[in-house]
């Protein structure tokens, strides 16, 4: 599945050309800019854009701003809440160079600097007055007169017998020719943030709109569908994620109300009802990261499995997988996706509360696994991906097992996810997890930054081996100085690979 969190795509349909005659033009720039140019020339010896001999160029940001002004939608669409595509028509004047059609290909490479670079606009169009000629669209902020051509460009034009005569051409811009961010910037209140990204879940685009965007929500939804091929439904989250079933209420802003979707992630296929289960496409990298840590033959307990993004890749890697989720809908789709990816014989699926799962099936399997020969090579991993509450479930490991403790190299490795708004999020997660377990994790854990959820809110994963003194009953080991092998403290992806090597050597 593709993960998209980026500015909206835009249609690359070609511009409609409004027929008009071609005339010579001294300056093909707005009147105000012409006036400013003349005043600056009189006032000083400053070189200006468009002059062939110049000592400096206009800063890129100013060029972008001017380009935005020329190619932005009409100003009268401001405040529009119901999309009217016909209101976006606008005619702009573009400088052009008239050439014979047979030399266009030879010429274009040499005119790369001078040619118009606006995406979605064809740089070469037919001459409506002469079918033997073509018109090359030029950059309206660089090309004003024949003096705007550089020496090398003039040389090529001379070789190809082309007169460096710039003319003007009127083009009609329509709704199809504007980028979605340009449309929304023109419509929403001036100075307000526009929606520049979304999560894609199959055919569904998932938004988190801000308050000032809500009056324009249906227009925003329709623009997203128009500008993003394959998107047929746009939804907006209208409440926080439910901590029990990890789903949320959503409103369909535009398009079909079908929430049944199919996604591809890391070469695996998942089907589910997006309105009833939890799915976050921005966790694709994290799903892959954990899968890479696992080795064939390892045992994975997925406490909050959702629809299977950890469990299914692990099973495909020939791990023994126990996957659980309390949400009946997630449990249903987890079973479905295991069959869909042909791993249903390798995954044991449960529909229990996380604590019940840990104190039931996990305890039973751990008792068996940790009682096996010390010569076994596989590791035991426990994934707890419920960031809002997973740390609370760590208490289930306290005195979970009875009998003679296993070798410390065989102790389960926990990957527990959490949110943090602390100034030092890694330390915050360590302290909270340690407080629940009743032990310091300062020297025996690593914390991996998963993603930035919101300003000053991070999602992290703390990884550690469960100490013998925690996992087994009647242990008198000093919890502050237990003898389990330390895991070097790291916070970056690069350093985390070293931690994997160390953990692997212990297991």
Q: What local confidence, expressed as pLDDT, does residue 423 receive?
A: 95
Check if the beta carbon of residue 121 is closer than 8 Å to that of residue 15. Answer: yes
Q: Tell whether the torsion through CA atoms of 313, 314, 319 and 323 is positive or negative.
A: negative
Q: What local confidence, expressed as pLDDT, does residue 365 receive?
A: 94
Phi/psi region, residue 94 (left: phi>0; alpha: psi -120 to 50; beta: rest), is: beta
If you write DSSP's letter for every residue of 380-396 in order, what string do you get? EEEEE--TTTGGGGGGG
Q: What local confidence, expressed as pLDDT, does residue 241 receive?
A: 58
Mean pLDDT in residue range 483-487? 41
CA 163/CA 103 separation, integer angstroms: 13
Does 242 belong to an annotated binding site? Answer: no
Mean pLDDT in residue range 42-63? 36
Q: What local confidence, expressed as pLDDT, does residue 70 receive?
A: 85
CA 74/CA 89 separation, integer angstroms: 7
Q: Which residue has the higher pLDDT, 157 or 25?
A: 157
Does 326 belong to an annotated binding site? Answer: yes
Q: Provide the pLDDT confidence category of residue 79 given band limits of 50, 70 and 90.
A: very high
CA 407/CA 399 separation, integer angstroms: 16
Angle between helices 284-293 and 493-506 (to 10 degrees): 30
Q: What local confidence, expressed as pLDDT, does residue 15 receive?
A: 39
Does 381 belong to an annotated binding site? Answer: no
Q: Provide the pLDDT confidence category of residue 403 given band limits of 50, 70 and 90.
A: confident
User: Tokens standing for 133?
Assistant: 């000629």
Q: Identify the weakest region by mean pLDDT among 72-76, 193-197, 304-308, 423-427.
A: 193-197
Per-residue pLDDT at 20 exceeds 60: no
Per-residue pLDDT at 63 exceeds 50: no
Per-residue pLDDT at 31 exceeds 80: no
Q: Provide the pLDDT confidence category of residue 69 given band limits of 50, 70 and 90.
A: confident
CA dihedral angle for residue 100, residue 103, residue 109, residue 112, rounded to 10 degrees: 0
Q: Identify the weakest region by mean pLDDT among 206-220, 453-467, 481-495.
A: 481-495
Q: Which residue has the higher pLDDT, 14 or 255?
A: 255
Q: What is the pLDDT of residues 154-188, one digit of tens each?
A: 999 999 999 999 999 999 999 999 999 999 999 99
Does 177 belong to an annotated binding site? Answer: no
User: Tokens standing for 493?
Assistant: 């992806």
Mean pLDDT in residue range 373-384? 82
Q: What local confidence, expressed as pLDDT, does residue 488 receive?
A: 36
Per-residue pLDDT at 332 exceeds 50: yes
* CA distance between the termini of the chain: 33
Beta-carbon count within 10 A of 462 CB: 24
Q: What local confidence, expressed as pLDDT, does residue 502 receive?
A: 44
Question: For residue 134, what are the CA distances in angstroms to 94, 189, 463?
Answer: 14, 41, 64
Q: What local confidence, expressed as pLDDT, does residue 238 receive?
A: 80
CA 40/CA 225 separation, integer angstroms: 46
Among the listed residues 285, 283, 321, 327, the one whose alpha carbon sits nearest the alpha carbon of residue 307 = 327
Q: What is the pLDDT of residues 2-13, one digit of tens each?
A: 333 333 333 333
In three-state secondary structure terms, 211 is helix
Check if the beta carbon of residue 52 is closer than 8 Å to that of residue 144. Answer: no
Count Cα neighbours of 427 within 13 Å in the Cβ-side half-sphere: 3
Q: What local confidence, expressed as pLDDT, does residue 137 receive?
A: 94
Q: What is the pLDDT of residues 416-462, one digit of tens each?
A: 999 999 999 999 999 999 999 999 999 899 999 999 998 899 999 99
Q: What is the pLDDT of residues 219-271, one digit of tens each?
A: 999 999 999 999 999 999 886 655 566 666 889 999 999 999 999 999 999 99
Per-residue pLDDT at 108 exceeds 50: yes
Per-residue pLDDT at 122 exceeds 50: yes
Bridging pattern class, strands 299-302 and 413-420: unpaired
CA 303/CA 382 separation, integer angstroms: 7
Q: Identify the weakest region by mean pLDDT among 76-85, 138-147, 482-491.
A: 482-491
User: pLDDT over 70 for what percent of the chain?
Assistant: 77
Among the listed residues 436, 437, 439, 416, the one whose alpha carbon sits nearest the alpha carbon of residue 426 = 416
Q: Provide the pLDDT confidence category of residue 213 given band limits of 50, 70 and 90.
A: very high
CA 464/CA 481 separation, integer angstroms: 15
Q: Which residue has the higher pLDDT, 331 or 49?
A: 331
* Residues 6+ positions from 388 with CB-CB distance below 8 Å: 241, 243, 419
Q: What local confidence, expressed as pLDDT, does residue 161 receive?
A: 92
Does 353 belong to an annotated binding site? Answer: yes
Per-residue pLDDT at 43 exceeds 90: no
Report the chain's mean pLDDT, rounded to a whole number.
82
Q: Which residue has the higher pLDDT, 57 or 116?
A: 116
Count Cα neighbours of 35 within 13 Å in the Cβ-side half-sphere: 3
């Amino acid at each position: 599945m593709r993960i998209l969190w980026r500015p909206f795509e835009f249609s690359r349909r070609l511009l409609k050309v409004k027929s008009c005659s071609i005339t010579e033009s001294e300056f093909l720039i707005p009147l105000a800019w012409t006036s400013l140019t003349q005043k600056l020339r009189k006032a000083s010896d400053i070189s200006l854009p468009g002059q062939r001999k110049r000592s400096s160029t206009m800063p890129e940001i100013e060029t972008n701003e001017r380009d935005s002004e020329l190619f932005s939608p009409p100003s009268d669409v401001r405040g529009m809440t119901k999309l009217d595509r016909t209101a976006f028509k606008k005619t702009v004047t573009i400088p052009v160079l008239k050439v014979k059609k047979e030399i266009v290909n030879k010429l274009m490479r040499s005119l790369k600097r001078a040619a118009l670079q606006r995406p979605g606009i064809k740089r070469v169009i037919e001459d409506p007055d002469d079918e033997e000629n073509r018109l090359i669209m030029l950059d309206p902020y660089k090309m004003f007169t024949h003096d705007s051509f550089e020496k090398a460009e003039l040389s090529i034009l001379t070789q190809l017998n082309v007169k460096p005569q710039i003319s003007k051409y009127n083009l009609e811009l329509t709704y199809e020719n504007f980028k979605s961010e340009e449309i929304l910037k023109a419509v929403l209140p001036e100075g307000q943030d526009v929606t520049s990204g979304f999560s894609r879940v199959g055919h569904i685009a998932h938004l988190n709109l801000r308050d000032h965007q809500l009056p324009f929500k249906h227009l925003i939804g329709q623009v997203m569908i128009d500008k993003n091929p394959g998107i047929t439904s746009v939804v907006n989250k209208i409440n926080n994620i439910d901590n029990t079933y990890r789903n949320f209420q959503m409103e369909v802003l535009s398009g079909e109300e079908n929430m049944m979707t199919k996604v591809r992630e890391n070469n695996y296929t998942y089907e589910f009802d997006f309105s009833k289960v939890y799915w976050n496409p921005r966790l694709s990298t994290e799903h892959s990261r954990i899968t890479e840590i696992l080795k064939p033959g390892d045992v994975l307990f997925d406490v909050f499995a959702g629809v299977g993004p950890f469990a299914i890749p692990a099973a495909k890697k020939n791990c023994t997988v126990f996957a659980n989720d309390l949400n009946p809908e997630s449990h249903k789709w987890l079973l479905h996706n295991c069959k869909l990816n042909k791993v249903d014989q390798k995954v044991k699926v449960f529909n229990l509360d996380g604590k019940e799962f840990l104190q039931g099936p996990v305890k039973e399997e751990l008792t068996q696994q940790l009682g096996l020969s010390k010569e076994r090579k596989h590791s035991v991993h426990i994934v707890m991906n419920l960031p809002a509450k997973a740390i609370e479930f760590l208490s289930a490991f306290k005195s979970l097992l009875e009998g003679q403790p296993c070798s410390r190299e065989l102790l389960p490795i926990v990957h527990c996810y959490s949110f943090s708004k602390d100034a030092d999020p890694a330390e915050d997660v360590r302290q909270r997890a340690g407080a629940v377990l009743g032990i310091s994790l300062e020297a025996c854990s690593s914390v991996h930054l998963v993603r930035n959820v919101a300003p000053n809110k991070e999602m992290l994963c703390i990884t550690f081996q469960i100490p013998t003194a925690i996992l087994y009953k009647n242990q008198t080991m000093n919890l502050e100085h237990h003898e389990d092998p330390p895991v070097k403290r790291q916070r970056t992806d690069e350093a985390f690979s070293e931690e994997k090597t160390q953990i692997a050597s212990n297991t």
